[in-house]
Amino acid sequence: MRKIEGKSTDNPKLIKKELKNGTYSLYLEYYWGYSKSYDDENDTEIIRKDRRKEALQLYLLKNPRTPIERQTNKETLELAKKIRFEREQQLKDTKTGYRLNTSKKVNIFDCMDAYYADYTKKDIRMVKGAINRFKDFIAIEYPECKIRIFPEQLNKDLMIKFVEYLQSRGHGSGAFTY
């Protein structure tokens, strides 16, 4: 049994266990703290770690030989990590009421401006130029979003159009050769 990823404080932990057939079985191990019980026969107090395991029914090949097997292992491991993260969020939500808020609407322009305000490196003109070019592009191509654009609205088609916009307008290299 070996922990696959993350810090030792992760709850649950993603663990792989070697099986007899040469594969690894992936499972989650939850840690619930300590429990105390009393043994009447010996008049002693027994302290146990409370743990629970959840089988994910996902398996990794021990020695993948082909690129297809390696890719399958990689995809299976990514899926297991996503499941672990979701279970961790559910656990935090039930214990403390904490949950990553995924429904919050964030304006990308505000994020860009905050990034620029905190930027301390020497190429700050490049950052400002990139932000201005993106804002100009949005104002021209998507005028309904020129004040506010959300992460859900950023998609592959928008990025392709933005690259085409930059290639059609740009000449030379540098922050202000626009």
Q: What is the pLDDT along the chain (178 residues), one digit of tens a residue?
A: 565 655 556 778 888 888 999 899 998 888 877 777 777 777 777 777 777 888 899 999 988 899 999 999 999 999 999 998 888 888 777 766 555 555 567 889 999 999 999 999 999 998 998 899 999 999 999 999 888 998 888 899 999 999 889 888 877 765 445 5
| Tokens at 52, concatenated | 């629970």
CB 56 within 8 A of CB 83: yes
Q: Which amino acid is located at 98 in the chain?
A: Y
User: Which residue's structure tokens are 């090949």?
Assistant: 61
Identify the DSSP state of 21. Answer: T
Q: Are 83 and 104 in contact (CB under 8 A)?
A: no
